[in-house]
Amino acid sequence: MRDNDLNGLLRDAGESGNGARIVDPTVRRWRMGPGSEDVPEFLEGPRARVDEFLRACRIFAEFIRGFRALHFVGPCVTVFGSARFAPGHRYYELAREVGKGCAGLGMTVMTGGGPGIMEAANRGAREAGGRSIGCNIILPQEQRENPYLDKFVTFKYFFVRKVMLVKYSYAFVVMPGGFGTMDELFEALTLVQTRKIRNFPIILMGTDFWDPMLAMIRERFVKAGTISPADVELLTVTDDPAVALEAIRTGMSALSQQIKRTTPSKILGERA
């Protein structure tokens, strides 16, 4: 690989030889404002084969950087929610309490690393003496990491970031949010439903916010047969942090029992 190709790979992955943060020119153009240059090149359609290959290498490098940075974070609870709730808002304070409670369980609190609900959960974990991790994302309007993070990693690609938010987590707490939060919620639900991940707890907090969506799921999805009635039971819905923490505790206990039932011979067989 030529030197300039390697430099491009590292640039898109957000690294340089001396550890400095480098912004990919593609992202810089994307931030310039409205107009034809706002479209990220990744989704513009087919390009030269060498360009596609190098882009795949840059994506792979971003995955590796995330794996290396987060490998030792310990069992996490990922908290999803809007970046738009300010301190003092009831959802912000609820997420803060959840962060404190998760830290009390010995869990690392992981979020998208930005403001709002993410900041609240990280803040609660920090205040309780727990670990606080953020997976930040480069956006056209730069999303700054919140000040309550012990460690954060910044990603260019949403799909890489979502893998990191799921991979290290044993439970998901979903606070009110917008399109991004809905994406993360249904991603987690789909992974549990299809058994791509274990039956980790998925907890919705803010019942008044979620009630209309849950009614639609029951009235439309279940009645139309597009999901099973049991799929609705994958969700725990509450406004009480104690209920959320008990669901997390129960989920961790069930996981522990599953691991104990997995014999060494079965593990060896699976690895073979």
- Cα–Cα dist 272/267, whole Å: 9
| Average pLDDT of the residues of the chain | 85
Q: Quote the pTM value.
A: 0.81
Provide the 10 A C-beta neighbour count for residue 27.
18
The pLDDT tens digits of the residues spanning 196-232 come to 999 999 999 999 999 999 999 999 999 999 999 999 9
pLDDT tens track for 100-116: 999 999 999 999 999 99
Identify the pLDDT of residue 32. 36
How much is the pLDDT for 42? 64
In the predicted model, is pLDDT for residue 25 greater than 50?
A: no
Read off the pLDDT band of 16 (50, 70, 90): very low
Q: Could you please report the per-residue DSSP string of 90-120?
A: HHHHHHHHHHHHHHHTTPEEEE-SSSTHHHH
Name 48's Cβ contacts closer than 8 Å, sequence gap at least 6.
none
Q: For a pLDDT cut of 70, what percent of the chain falls above it?
A: 80
Both tokens of 164, joined, read 């990191």
Provide the pLDDT confidence category of residue 264 given band limits of 50, 70 and 90.
low
Helix (H) or strand (E) holding 249: helix 241-261
Give the least confident one: 10-19, 44-53, 146-155, 186-195.
10-19
Question: Who wins on pLDDT, 20 or 246?
Answer: 246
Over 50: is that where the pLDDT of 19 sits? no
Looking at residues 52-60, what average pLDDT do you find? Answer: 94
pLDDT attached to residue 201: 97
In the chain, the domains with their CATH numbers are 3-67 (no CATH), 75-261 (3.40.50.450)
Which one-letter DSSP state was computed for residue 218? I
Over the stretch 158-183, which tens digit does the pLDDT of each residue have? 999 999 999 999 999 999 999 999 99
Give 224 or 138, the one with higher predicted confidence. Answer: 224
Could you tell me the pLDDT band of residue 17, with boundaries at 50, 70 and 90? very low
